Amino acid sequence: MSYAMIRHLRRTAILSQQIRVESTMTNLTQEDFVFRPPMAQWSKIIREAEKIVGYPTSFMNLRWLLSDEFANLAMHLRKIVGSNHPIMKTAKTVLYNEQNNLQPWGLIILLLSKAISPSTHSIQTTTLIEHQRMLAELTEMIRTGHYIHRGLLNIPVEEQDQKRDTSMFANKIAILIGDYLLVTANGMLARLRNQDLSYLISTALRDISEGEFFGPRDSQNMPLPGEPVNKNVDNFKINCDTIPLSVTDILGSPISEWTLRNMYNGGSLFGRGCEGAVLLAGKNVAEQKKAYLFGCHLCLAWQAASEISKFSTENQEPFSLVSAPVLFALNETPELYEKLKNVKTVTSIDFNDLKANISKTNAIEKTKRLYTENADKAKSYIEMFGDNESVNTIKRLINTI
């Protein structure tokens, strides 16, 4: 029955791709869930990495996709085929990660775990590997659940009539699927029976929640950029402490605003996942902090690379208004902000015109430097965990971006 259900899910995703035209809203996420590096080289490194960890990470998705609970929810997905609801794009992304490679968070955590785990075979080592694998899985599940929840459509009360039945139903399905993933992830975290690890992941969940209330938003809760300000120093320091992220004097400063938004949207969670893997291995606090900083900077490097690709001449996809190129362009040409500050819905913006204006500035070059800085920092932190096959594979993944 579970195998039949996964086929049913795939058919649902295929039908939705054939029937509907992708809506603008489904593309305008607050964080790029999908990253598309050069596929041939990237896929080769991914396969080599999975051989090192001894675990095909595609099974992370299948483990919860094949559950009876998710099967019941999947039955309802076909009812919203043909709609423009973001949940359909999310379903396709999760099911077809060969064509749309997810940023391989779980695989990176497993590679880091392999780099620091003892090479001896014992009951303790086997238990440690299983716990680190559970951590990698629950980190992916929290991320996916948050992504699904964030795709809800805000429907005004006065518009919740018969014409909106499909959207209302799709929202309910998105809430249930997201809740299922988050509850399952928290159950896995509880089974690890590690209070310190639970605390680390809880701080990441706090950051994800706080991020949904940071900065101006449109009527669909899509993020809008802060008003540009001129500052002599624009640098966001990533703090290893578990205290809430600082939001003082952030909006309007391109590097600080971009960094904070992406720490909220996933950087903190990935960093804590890496830190947790080192914690489970029994390493000291200094080693744990290195792992956290590695995860944060790698996530930021991935995000910068993804945003740069959105501004290539052949790419016609919409882009986030709080992406680095936009923030840099607004800071360099403040008059562009006048076109955005009173926006009611992101979908009303002429993205082609905005993209043309951004191309006239140095925003893309600044974003490339932002990527290089974070990628170099990620490599410098991962190199602190020794010269071994796992570390070298992570460095190859970074260099492929």
pLDDT digits (tens, 9 = 90+) for 323-337: 999 999 999 999 999
- Would you list the DSSP string of 160-212? -SGGGHHHHHHHHHHHHHHHHHHHHHHHHHHHTT-HHHHHHHHHHHHHHHHHT
Which residues partner with 34 through β-bridges?
Answer: 102
pLDDT digits (tens, 9 = 90+) for 199-226: 999 999 999 999 999 999 988 888 999 9
pLDDT at 84: 63
Hey, what are 253's tokens? 């400063």
Q: What is the mean pLDDT of residues 50-73?
A: 65
CA angle 59-61-64, nearest 5°? 105
Q: Name the residue with higher pLDDT: 39 or 391.
A: 391
Hey, what are 159's tokens? 């518009």
pLDDT at 390: 94
Provide the mean pLDDT of the chain.
81
pLDDT of 27 higher than 70 = no
Query: How remote is the C-alpha of 180 from its chain's centroid?
Result: 18
pLDDT digits (tens, 9 = 90+) for 128-173: 999 999 999 999 889 988 988 887 877 766 666 654 567 788 888 8
pLDDT tier for residue 34 given thresholds of 50, 70 and 90: very low
Measured in degrees and rounded to the nearest 5, phi and psi for residue 44 equal -65, -45
d(CA 339, CA 45) in angstroms, rounded, equals 43
pLDDT at 170: 80
Count of positions (residues) in the chain: 401
